[in-house]
Amino acid sequence: MPTQSAHQDTEGSPPQRLLQLASPEGRVLTVVRADGTTAKLPVDVVLISETVSQVLEHREGTPDRTVCAQWFRWLAGHLRLLAPIAVQQAPRWGDPERTELVEEGAAAVDRALAAGLPADQHAAYVYVQELARECRGLLGLVLDQPGDGR
């Protein structure tokens, strides 16, 4: 059964150029939009990363479906936050194929979330693992800022 630690305030500090403590209530991520302007968005990179790690960590057996349902809710929130940000930022690379790939990925995430969690315990576990991998990929896209050498 998962602990709530992945969804409590975390003391570690990621690179300050990307993540800064905005207030005691949460964290913000400064992103560069396709038009070159910046925006501060409520993205807690540490929380999202910990959620993904928790879902994908090696374990014996299959977690109970109620555990998978909790993970699904956490991941759904993260994915609904990250997908539109990634889509908005994609054009800045000036690569229409990459932009289209990001848009298709975001649409696939929307479909997966709308489909909901499978009833079968084993299928539910595989499903949340797939969502966690999508979440990790979208987080990477959101963090990939122009001009930072990547």
- List per-block mean pLDDT (blocks of 10 residues) for the chain, which spans 150 residues: 36 31 53 74 87 95 96 96 91 88 95 97 97 95 66
CA 78 to chain centre: 5
Q: State whether the Cα torsion 24-79-105-84 is positive or negative.
A: negative
Kindly state the tokens that stand for 55: 């879902």
Give the CB-side neighbour count of residue 144, counting CA atoms within 13 A: 15
Number of residues that make up the chain = 150
Say what the pLDDT of residue 145 is.
Answer: 64
Looking up tokens 């993540």, which residue turns up?
Answer: 19
Q: State the DSSP code for 46.
A: H
On the 0-12 / 13-18 / 19+ scale of CB atoms within 10 A, 22 is: middle
With CA atoms as reference, report the closest residue to 131 among 48, 52, 67: 52
Looking up tokens 């990477």, which residue turns up?
Answer: 140
Q: State the DSSP code for 24.
A: T
Say what the pLDDT of residue 146 is.
Answer: 57
Looking up tokens 């709530």, which residue turns up?
Answer: 4
